[in-house]
A and B are shown apart, each in its own frame.
Chain A
Amino acid sequence: MTVQLTGTSSSGRAESSEPTGPSPLSATAPAEASHASVRLVSLRVGDGRRRSRRRAVALRLAVPIGIFVAWWILTVTNAIPPTTLSTPSATWDAFVELLRHQDLVGDVGISIRRAVLGLALGAGVGLILGIVVGLTRLGEELLDAPMQMLRTVPYPALIFLFIVWFGVGEASHVLLIALATLFPMYLNTSNGVRNVDRRVVEAARSFGLQGRQLVRRVVVPLAMPSIMTGLRFSAGISVIALVFTESIGASQGIGYLVSQANSLQQIPILMVCIIIYALIGIAADISVRILERCTMPWRRHQAVR
């Protein structure tokens, strides 16, 4: 909406102020300048920020549901043949079959256990190394170059070596996941710690905070946004590493299911596994979000003025 408010508008005159005293602006300004009429536009009014929670949930679900519907239509109409992509109902049947005749729940459980243990170990070590390297010169000079070298070694290439070194058991699976998740955590933590406002650290030092206390009370909380980004990456990679490590030397776990289904060309079982991976992925993301809220309570109110 555009409103023309010139001298003819009586309401404009009524609401404007009393004539004021000598203008400071008059000295140099030409008189005409002040008389050119200004076109005024009306700004939108209302509490636009108040978005309903239901709408937010609907928007989050829209794309996954859209993908599911597309999948369903394309396969049921045979636009994509079942040898390429199984129908939702065939996938459901495979899921029920896996539940009944194979220990699917056990497989998922053991996979999650491996992923969580590996992530805890890898992210924990990455966090500590990141803090040491980000905080101390000695740490950076000693550790950063070797970490950058190891980082580029593709972990799937190490599966066989890990089995030789740590045996055909849980240890090699967990350690491989730990290795894969270590680097994202390390990189983000060291970078976050390096970028902590030095003036705040200086102030904390001047009030007597030092050593471990300084790290725990000031450095880590302020680097928390980066640390959480690292954790997100690490959590995602832990699931990917899971598939690799379980494809060799495992007799249980969804990675094992995947590699079996691959060799037997059982597309419905592969679809079940993909969906399970997707669910694990979203569960990991939600967990990190909750953790973010718990570890950074000061950020929750930041948007409010």
Chain B
Amino acid sequence: MNLPTTQPAAMVVEVSKSFGDREVLADLDLTVSQGEFVALLGASGSGKTTLLRILAGLEMASSGEVLVPEVRTVVYQEPRLVASMRVWRNVVIGLPRGEATRQRAVAALREVGLEAQADSWPGTLSGGEAQRVALARALVREPQLLLLDEPFAALDALTRLKMQGLVAELCGRHHPGVLLVTHDVEEAILLADRVLVLTDSKISLDRTVELARPRRIGGEAFDELRDQLLAELGVLAGQR
């Protein structure tokens, strides 16, 4: 038995963020514990990506307090690989000279099943492969906080299923605190320990997912949670 500890891997305290006159986040509080997998749901434009970007340090909060670990990495919706570098160099991009070894890159690529592609150019990879490289790039520096910004959204349905399984497995092995931003309710329930819904600049729902693992889509408890989350997201029963 191993509960996620109550020690935080990231904390956001009363954070607000506005773009011009538009307030995207208002006095928002969020704690991600070490080893905890948190999924953040929200409609388009609800500010969920902004919150993730604040945690990544890509965006500055207008006010409040943001506490994050030194080592934090992001997987974006698109792979965002540098086309002019071979795959393995993309994986160790930005690491200090001594640590940016091919050996280390290949080890990370092995974890995502792409060891053989180490010397390929990013342009020759399929969408799913490129996204796996992006995942290897995020995991190679052993992050204490892993930020996933809709990393499966651009993948085809079959690749998405495999990729979700891979992420669950790798997070289990490396144990970072995870914040997954997504608009896919089922994906959130499948992967997360805790699901949050962001509406009107605030977290309007915070639910622990009690389902036993490994999880499958369907079942009474699953459906009940899904319906609750969809209702919170403003999808009416008739539209489901």
Tell whether A12 pairs with B11 under 8 Å between CB atoms, given A34-B175, A41-B67, A43-B68. Answer: yes
**Inside 8 A of A305's CB, which chain B residues have their CB?**
19, 50
Interface residues of A in 28-50 (CB under 8 A from B): 28-29, 31, 33-49
**Inside 8 A of A39's CB, which chain B residues have their CB?**
69-70
Smallest CB separation, B16 vs chain A (Å)? 9
- Which single member of A6, A37, A45 contacts B65 (CB below 8 Å)? A45
Docked CA distance A48–B177 (Å): 28
Interface residues of B in 51-72 (CB under 8 A from A): 54, 57, 60-70
Docked CA distance A39–B31 (Å): 14
- Which single member of A3, A23, A40, A46 contacts B36 (CB below 8 Å)? A23
The 0/1 profile, CB within 8 Å of B marked 1, for residues 216-246 of chain A is 0000000000000000000000000000000
**Inside 8 A of B66's CB, which chain A residues have their CB?**
42-43, 45
Q: Does B208 contact A (CB under 8 A)?
A: yes
Smallest CB separation, A1 vs chain B (Å)? 10
**Inside 8 A of B31's CB, which chain A residues have their CB?**
15-17
> Is there an interface contact between B35 and A28, defined as CB atoms closer than 8 Å?
no
Tell whether A20 pairs with B208 under 8 Å between CB atoms, given A12-B11, A43-B66. Answer: yes
Docked CA distance A21–B29 (Å): 21
> Is there an interface contact between A20 and B4, defined as CB atoms closer than 8 Å?
yes
- Which single member of B5, B7, B54, B208 contacts A21 (CB below 8 Å)? B208
> Is there an interface contact between B194 and A20, defined as CB atoms closer than 8 Å?
yes
> Is there an interface contact between B61 and A45, defined as CB atoms closer than 8 Å?
yes
Number of A-B contacts (CB under 8 A): 152
> Is there an interface contact between B172 and A24, defined as CB atoms closer than 8 Å?
yes
> Is there an interface contact between A20 and B3, defined as CB atoms closer than 8 Å?
yes
Smallest CB separation, A234 vs chain B (Å)? 30
Q: Does B37 contact A (CB under 8 A)?
A: yes
Q: Residue on B with the closest CB to A2? A: B70
> Is there an interface contact between B3 and A19, defined as CB atoms closer than 8 Å?
yes
> Is there an interface contact between B69 and A24, defined as CB atoms closer than 8 Å?
no
Q: Does B173 contact A (CB under 8 A)?
A: yes
Docked CA distance A153–B68 (Å): 60
26 A–B contact pairs at CB < 8 A?
A5-B8, A13-B6, A16-B8, A17-B33, A19-B4, A20-B193, A20-B194, A21-B193, A22-B212, A23-B37, A24-B171, A25-B175, A26-B1, A26-B3, A28-B169, A34-B34, A35-B7, A38-B177, A40-B8, A40-B67, A41-B68, A41-B69, A42-B65, A49-B60, A304-B20, A305-B19
Chain B residues packing against A (C-beta within 8 Å): 1-11, 13, 15, 18-20, 29, 31, 33-37, 50, 54, 57, 60-70, 144, 168-169, 171-173, 175, 177, 191, 193-194, 206, 208-213
